[in-house]
Chains A and B, each alone.
Chain A
Amino acid sequence: MVKVKKGAKKGSSDAGKKKLPPKALNPFEVHVNRQKFQVLGRKTKTDRGLPGVARAKALKKRKATLLQEYKLKDKSNKFVDRRIGERNSAMTVEDKMTARFTAERMRAQTRKAMFNLADEEVLTHRGQTLNEIEKFEDPRSDDDDDEQDNPFQAKGNLDAEFVSDAHFGGGLLSRSHEDGAKSRKDLIDQLIAESKKRKAEQQKLREQTLDLTEKLDTDWKDLLPIINSAPKAAEVEKPKPDSFDVLMRELKFEARGKPSDRLKSEDEVAKEEKEKLEELEAARLRRMQGITDSSTDSGPKHRSADDLDDGFAMDTDQDESENEESQKNEDGGSADEDVDESDNDDMNSERAEEVDDGDGENSSESEDDDIDDLRYDSSDNENTSDHEEVESTSNIAKCLSEPHSSKVQTGNRKNTAALSDKAESIREDLRKRKELMDAARKELPYTYEVPSTYEELQIVLAGRSPEYQGVIVERMIKCTHPSLANGNKEKLAHLFTLLMQHLHDAGSADANENVCWAVLDRLVPSLFDIVQWCPDDTAQCIKHVIQEKHQEYSKSRKKFPGVETLLFFKLISLLFPTSDFRHPVVTPALVFMGQMLSACRLETRQDIAKGLFLVSLFLEFTALSKRFSPESVNFLRNVLYLSTSLPDTHKVTSAGKIPVVRPLPPVKIFAVPRFSLRPNFGESSFRNYEPTDRLCASDLISKDPVDIDFCMTALLVSLRALSSMITQLSSLPACRHIFSPFPPLLESLCMEDRLPKRIKEEIQKAQKEMASVRETSLNHLVSAPKRPKPLKLYEPNIQQVYADGKQHRPISKEKQEREKLLHRYKREKKGALREIRKDRDFLAKIRIKQQLKSDAERREKVKEIFGHAAMQQGEMRKLSKGKKKK
């Protein structure tokens, strides 16, 4: 009964904690917030409140906190209750008592422990601590015994029958049953003997079972292998599959035939090749455009409804013309080949090899071929295999080129005729090289390890001619082709850095003049391959090189850096597309080149040569993108200024004919120029002098003073560069402004009669270019037409309305978060203000209460005193009356 009651009470108290007890609800205390709309399933917390209760609660809390503080205000000392558990509301009174008691005991303990030495001794038994012993680690468990039927017997105790006989009634009850009367003593003796015997038996039995189990265990272990193997073999007796099943399974698991690529015809191969190239070219053009989409004059293109966005009409005019041009070049080459086919086979093969290389630059097929060849080579050590390879590929190439070229042949006859001269010379050159290469190929070993340090590379390359170096590096790369092993790419990237160092050293060693260019010439294909395989690493490497060179340069800004720096710029133009709008390698290089051109002094022959080299590099970098660099224009201006005869110009200007063109810094105007490119004609005329067309690599390093040959060649080269620059930029409307200083310069050059004919021609050509630029009329700039405002649509402005009545504006996550926080802040602020106000009211009430109380006290006191005084007065009066009476 009692238990049940308790349980019930507990349950009810639990419920009471969760819900308000119904009896406490006084309907007059409840305030109900009326809901405007009833929404099903919505739970509201604030539908009813108990203002009275809440107020009482708040008041109580204030009394506990604020009032205490108020009382302690302006008091310097305070009482702190340090009794254990006094502040901990979680502890019951009993807990507090126990805690205090233990603390008391502890204190007593610690005081004694100072003198109690034996406390920490560890008790042992037979060398073992008691703790260890009490672990009860007996391997033989008693479980076996417990399992026996009669637990009492097992432990050698008397059996129940005997006990019941002997104990109850002192054995007298049984005595009547048994005939042979035995004395009690006998009985007990017998009892003891029996007990002992049973114990002994028990002991024996246990030992036996132990022995047996041990034996069984050992036997089992012996048997174990037999059991595991034997039954399996016996079990796998399966019926033999018949031939049908075998066949079916075979058919089931046979690999499905994949549709293999059809063997492509030559046309298709060529077409594919062309498409690939076109695609790459298109990508390049896109990169060249950069982000200049908005700068197109034509405005938005018309798009028809049928436009499929397949990029069908994307070719611009310029694009097309370029494609044509490049095609022309290619075709021209192949057509030549046809013409000359009969007279030299050798050359054909070499040309074919080139084609092959060009084809195979990315397709793994041909590379695999190469590697196969290589393996073949290395195993057989056959020197002629290379030749065979060349021949075989040449045949293929011939087949490839024939149909293609024959198609275009008719159309391009004229072009080929014009180009053939140049092509002839180049081919001659190539053939010579080819022979050298072949010789090199024959002599050198076929496999090379990629060296890990620069010293090792130097050991391999030192003393070799550039051709040999080229072959060696080529073979190194073939041996560590990225498809051969896993880490090969890294090795190649490392090799690239080593080669950069090699080039650098070749360039900076001024012992032999042309060697660095020759080395670069031979290494370029290999470097190209490496760059194709690991563009990121190599680009990083080249960037590092440029940065280093730039740091070197910034130490002495007025001097041109060494040839090796120019070498790297040339290498960049070979490896990276210079036409890109922005390129991580090319753009810094351009900045660097511009810095040099605009800052370096022109004082020696070297300076002129290096500057002109940079100008030609600028031309090359911008050949496709048709971009414009003020630095190179300025440099040409300065060079031409230096070549014009200064006093002469003055003379002419005094006649008012040609305006003076001032040079730009770093070149300065001097009455007597510090350095001049003006050829010192002396008396003789050079009208029939034939200047060389091109500057020489040795000019970059020679320390000779300027001679007439150099003057002429430099002048010629700069004039040619000028005209090609003008043609390059002729599409710009501001072209005439860019080149505005040049007409006077050219004119004053023209005044010099003794210049060679060739130079005069160039001058005239440049003048003609300028004139044609000036002839075109200028269109005023017009900004892109504004897009027409979209028509107003008279459709209903539909906004989504959500159930919660809030507006869901599309705002970003951060804003949303911010708004949420702001909202919360506002609410908190309101709440805090309200609380503060209530606190103030509370305190005011307290104060007024105190005031009233003290007033009342005072009044009481005053009353009392008055009372006393009145009484005294009364008594006085009484007394005086009494006296009077008397």
Chain B
Amino acid sequence: MLAPEPRVLPRGRAGASQTPTGREWRTRLARSAEQDRGSTTTKMAASKVSKKLHSMAIDFLSSRRNANNLADIIAIIESNESNIPPCLLALEIIFLEVLKRRDMFLEHPATEISNIDTESQYRVWLRECFDDSWSKILAVVSNSPKISVQTQALSTAMKLIAMEGQYPLEPLKKEEHFFPNNRLRLLLVAILSSGRNGGQLLARLQEFSTYPDVLYNVWKQLFPIAIGLQRNGQRPDENFIRNYLDLIDKFPLPKPGRGERGQDHDLTDNLLCGQQGHNGYILNMDHMRKAVNKVWGCVMHWNHTPATQRLLLVVLLERVLPFLDKPLLLTDYLMDSLDSGGAISLLALQGIFTLIQNHNLEYPNIFNKLYSMFEPEIFHTKFKARLFYLSDMFLSSTHLPENIVAAFAKRLARLSLVAPPEDIHIILMFIGNLILRHPGLKLLIDNPNRTNVPDDPFVMEERDPSKSRAMESSLWELHALQSHVLPGVGTAANFIYNPLPSVEWDLSQILEDNSDDIFEREMKKKLKEIALTFDRPQTLSLPQHERVSQFWQLV
């Protein structure tokens, strides 16, 4: 038999499992016993159980006379919640070793076996046991209430998959790469249907995404899973969708464009299930692309709640979009999302922007949409930086009509009156950049006519930027911001009175600022002397300009 080659699995957890020594198992069992934080007595009992299970597993492996131990272990797994971890370990020990010895190896499918000798009977029985315990493990993954137990079951399952991939149960047909796809699919389904805990399980599973064969096969299985649901007539619930999208997010496809389109990556090393003798594994990018397109076609038609739709858009923009065959088909979907408001429309906007930029989409009303996104609520979403970044890109053209750009400037200025200080900074620089790009906008800060107007001609409620009459107005808001309470904002707003710089301000530095940064900065500022009041207060109220006691009866 070929000697097992030691290979490194992520975090080295599975590495030791190839040839476990007695002491290692003991420590593992002790560790798993620690995971159950019960009273001392249950702990004692648990450790006793785990010891017993361990010895049973060792006995099983040592001679075939103890074959019934396996059945006992499988029976125990269902008996008690606290017995699951040691049982999992025992099963892991047994099957890893059995797979390595090829004890379950059959030349022909079990149904075709004509001569029933004891050896093949034993092998068939072993296979049944293996399938049985596999389903038990998956049940633990999807249903166990404890996340630690779930992750343990997951890692056991992955180890078994790896081992089976190395030592297949049946003879291979050609020089093909074998991966136990059935088991992987079942495992994925178990994870996806595990409800809220799915995120953590997926995070654990993500460690395997570095193996190209795992990545490929996961993508290959995603579509059958989605289709399988539809065939059964089930509608995926919110948690399932979230987990599904999360899975897509965590198994990113290799970036295209490193070579030619659809180039296959030749990856011989670093496989989870690399058999001896097969040294050519090729990641077929065309298959991957096909899988992505199919999967996405399915996912788009599920029923989405706003939360999952947001997630969907994020995944779409960051992972999937470059791999789609016909991204322009997304336009309608993105248009619809654009109208739903808030973060979703923002993300949709970004998608449309990508389409415009890379795929020649023409969209006439895009500036109106962008204009309508600037609402006071935008400052309290976490996609604020994205919005500013995007609109900076949109408005970067110098060929835009001036009245539209002026409308943006004016609207932003209005918003700055209700914005928190860090956003005022961004807005001020944004407006400054607009004025720099479009010198005609200088009229907003320097109107040579010096006329009086009874009221601001700008119409805030107008949805169409070109009809908002912004060019007839002035940026009085910036003048007001000069007397903002915070000195930083005040000085930043001073730019309207100073000659404009020749280079635009760099927005990217301040996009991620928050108010704590401002606080820290102000805390660090040191002035030479600290000014003090000169009126000695006799009581709580100031000698002059007291305001608090006008509204408060404090003493």
Which residues of chain A have a CB within 8 Å of any CB of chain B? 277, 280, 283-284, 287, 290-292, 294-295, 326, 329, 354, 357-358, 361, 433, 514, 517-518, 520-521, 524-525, 528-529, 531-532, 535-536, 539, 543, 546-547, 550, 554, 570, 573-577, 580-585, 587-588, 590-592, 594-595, 598, 612-613, 616-631, 633-634, 659, 662, 664-666, 692, 694-697, 717, 720-721, 724, 729, 732-738, 740, 774, 777-784
In the complex, how many angstroms separate the beta carbon of A510 from the nearest chain B beta carbon? 16
Contacts beyond the supplied A588-B522, A732-B483: 18 A-B pairs with Cβ under 8 Å: A524-B539, A528-B537, A576-B532, A577-B533, A591-B518, A594-B515, A616-B547, A616-B550, A626-B483, A627-B484, A628-B480, A630-B417, A630-B424, A694-B550, A734-B479, A737-B477, A778-B454, A781-B446
Please tell me if B356 contacts chain A, counting CB pairs below 8 Å.
Answer: no
| Contact in complex: B487, A624 (CB < 8 Å) | no
Q: CB-defined interface of B217-253 with A at 8 Å, one 1/0 digit per residue?
A: 0000000000000000000000000000000000000
CB atoms of A694 and B420 under 8 A apart: no
Q: Select A613's contact among B419, B533, B552, beta carbons within 8 Å.
A: B552
User: Bound complex: CA of A740 vs CA of B476, how far in Å?
Assistant: 14
Task: Check B532 against A694 for contact (C-beta < 8 Å).
Answer: no
B540 in the interface (beta carbon within 8 A)? yes
Chain B residues numbered 420-479 whose CB sits less than 8 Å from any CB in chain A: 420-421, 424, 444-456, 460-461, 474-477, 479
Whether B555 pairs with A774 at a CB distance below 8 angstroms is no
Q: Note all chain A residues with C-beta closer than 8 A to B475.
A: 781
Indicate if the CB atoms of A290 and B487 lie closer than 8 Å. yes
In the complex the two chains form, is A616's CB within 8 Å of B548's CB?
yes
Q: For B531, give the chain A residue with the smallest CB separation.
A: A577
Distance in angstroms between the alpha carbons of A543 and B519 in the assembled complex: 11
Chain B contacts for A617, CB-based, 8 A = 547-548
- Among all A-B residue pairs, the 9 with the closest Cβ atoms: A780-B447, A734-B480, A620-B547, A665-B380, A783-B446, A582-B487, A734-B476, A781-B474, A623-B545
Task: Give which listed residue, B445, B518, B525, B534, contacts A280 with CB less than 8 A.
Answer: B534
- Tell me, in angstroms, the Cα distance from A116 to B221 when the chains sit together: 92
A533 to B460, CA, bound (A): 53
- In angstroms, Cα B217 to Cα A851, docked, is 74
Name the interface residues of B512-544: CB closer than 8 Å to any CB of A.
515-516, 518-519, 522-523, 525-527, 529-540, 542, 544
Shortest distance between the CB of B453 and any CB in chain A (Å): 5
What A residues does B68 contact at CB under 8 A? none
B488 to chain A, nearest CB (A): 9
Residues of B within 8 A of A626 (CB): 483
Assess whether A294 is in contact with B497, with CB atoms less than 8 Å apart.
yes
B19 at interface by CB-CB < 8 Å: no
The verdict on A781 contacting B447 (CB below 8 Å), with A521-B555, A590-B486, A694-B550 known, is: yes
With the chains together, A695 CA to B181 CA distance in Å? 71
How far, in angstroms, from A329 to B460 measured CA to CA in the complex?
Answer: 44
B284 to chain A minimum Cβ distance, whole angstroms, is 49
Q: How far is the CA of A546 from the CA of B522 in the complex (A)?
A: 12
Closest CB in chain B relative to A526 CB, distance in Å: 10
A665 touches B456 (CB 8 A): no
Q: Does B1 touch A at the CB level, under 8 Å?
A: no
Q: How far is the CB of B171 from chain A (nearest CB, A)?
A: 62
Closest to B549 in A: A694
When chains A and B are docked, how far (Å) is the Cα of A192 from the Cα of B453? 144
- State which of B424, B455, B532, B545 has its C-beta within 8 Å of the C-beta of A575: B532
B393 at the binding interface (Cβ < 8 Å)? no
Alpha-carbon gap, A329 to B545, bound state (A): 11
Assuming the contacts A627-B485, A737-B456, asked whether A354 and B538 have C-beta atoms less than 8 A apart, the reply is yes
Question: How long is the Cα–Cα vector from A583 to B486 in the complex, in angstroms?
Answer: 10
Contact partner of B377 (CB less than 8 A), chosen from A284, A357, A665, is A665
Query: Could you say which residues of chain A place their CB within 8 Å of the CB of B172?
Result: none
Nearest Cβ in chain B — how far from A375, in angstroms? 23
Quick check: is B553 within 8 A (CB to CB) of the other chain? yes
Residues on A with C-beta less than 8 A from B542 are 573-574, 620
| B306 in the interface (beta carbon within 8 A) | no
Contact B480 A294 (CB under 8 A): no
Is A782 touching B450 in the complex (CB atoms < 8 A)? yes
Partner of A582, one of B480, B523, B527: B527
Distance in angstroms from B408 CB to nearest chain A CB is: 17
How far apart sit A189 and B219, CA to CA, in the bound complex (Å)? 138
CB distance A779 to B450 under 8 Å?
A: yes
Q: Which residues of chain A have C-beta atoms less than 8 A from B454's C-beta?
A: 777-778
Classify the secondary structure of B's interface with A.
loop
- Are B550 and A720 interface neighbours, CB within 8 A? yes
**B530 CB to nearest A CB, Å:** 4
Report 27 cross-chain contacts, Cβ distance below 8 Å, ordered by A residue: A280-B534, A294-B497, A326-B544, A517-B554, A517-B555, A520-B540, A521-B539, A525-B537, A554-B516, A574-B533, A584-B525, A585-B530, A588-B519, A626-B483, A629-B485, A633-B418, A694-B553, A697-B555, A729-B480, A733-B480, A736-B456, A737-B477, A778-B452, A778-B456, A781-B496, A782-B447, A782-B450
Q: Complex Cα distance A588/B544, Å?
A: 23
Q: Which residues of B contact A284 (CB under 8 A)?
A: 531, 534
State which of B379, B445, B540 has its C-beta within 8 Å of the C-beta of A570.
B540
Q: A517's closest neighbor in chain B, by CB? A: B554
Return the chain A residue nearest B445 by Cβ. Answer: A781
Cα–Cα distance between A138 and B551 once the two chains are bound (Å): 102
Smallest CB gap from B525: residue in A: A584
Whether B369 sits at the interface, judged by CB under 8 Å, is no
**Other-chain contact of A783, B445, B535, B548 (Cβ < 8 Å):** B445
Contact check, A575 vs B451: say whether CB atoms are below 8 A apart.
Answer: no
Q: Which residues of B contact A665 (CB under 8 A)?
A: 377, 379-380
The answer to whether A587 touches B453, judged by C-beta atoms less than 8 angstroms apart, is: no
Cross-chain contact B455 with A774 (CB below 8 angstroms): yes
| Set of chain A residues within 8 Å of B546, measured between Cβ atoms | 620
A695–B549 Cα gap in the complex (Å)? 9
Chain B residue with Cβ nearest A325: B544
Query: Chain B CB within 10 Å — which of A570, A591, A634, A666 has the most?
Result: A591
- Chain A residues with CB below 8 A from B386, complex form: none
Q: Which residues of B contact A539 (CB under 8 A)?
A: 530
Tell me if B417 and A738 are in contact (CB < 8 A).
yes
Closest-CB distance, A592 to chain B (whole angstroms): 6
Closest A-chain residue to B515, C-beta based? A595
Q: Which chain A residues border B531 with CB–CB below 8 Å?
A: 283-284, 287, 576-577, 580, 583
B455 partner residues in chain A, CB cutoff 8 A: 736, 774, 778
**Nearest CB on A from B7, distance (A):** 45
Contact A778–B547 (Cβ < 8 Å): no
CA distance A665 to B384 in the complex (A): 14
Query: Cβ of A532 and Cβ of B479 under 8 Å apart?
Result: no
Contact in complex: B544, A613 (CB < 8 Å):
no
Within 8 A of A (CB), among B174-225: none
| Cα A774 to Cα B454 with chains together (Å) | 8
Check A631/B532 contact, CB under 8 A, given A525-B537, A584-B525, A595-B519. no
B304 at the interface (CB under 8 A from A): no
Q: Is there contact, CB below 8 Å, between B536 and A594?
A: no
Q: Which residues of B contact A577 (CB under 8 A)?
A: 531-533
A295 partner residues in chain B, CB cutoff 8 A:
482, 494, 497
State the CA gap A585–B525 with chains docked (Å).
10
Interface 0/1 of B358-384, CB less than 8 Å to A: 000000000000000000110110000
Residues of chain A with a CB closer than 8 A to B483's CB: 625-628, 732
B491 within 8 A of A: yes
- B498 at the A interface (CB under 8 A): yes
Q: Give chain A residues whose Cβ lies under 8 Å from the Cβ of B319.
A: none
Contact A781 B479 (CB under 8 A): yes
A774–B480 CA distance with the chains assembled, in angstroms: 15
Cross-chain contact A695 with B551 (CB below 8 angstroms): yes
How far is the CB of B130 from the nearest CB of chain A, in Å? 51
Instruction: Name the distance in Å between A425's Cβ and chain B's nearest Cβ.
Output: 12
Measured CA separation A729–B455 after assembly (Å): 17
Shortest Cβ gap from B227 to chain A (Å):
40
Question: A693 CB to closest chain B CB, in angstroms?
Answer: 8
Could you tell me the distance between the alpha carbons of A692 and B529 in the complex, rounded to whole angstroms?
43
B553 touches A696 (CB 8 A): yes
Report chain B residues within 8 Å CB of A283. 531
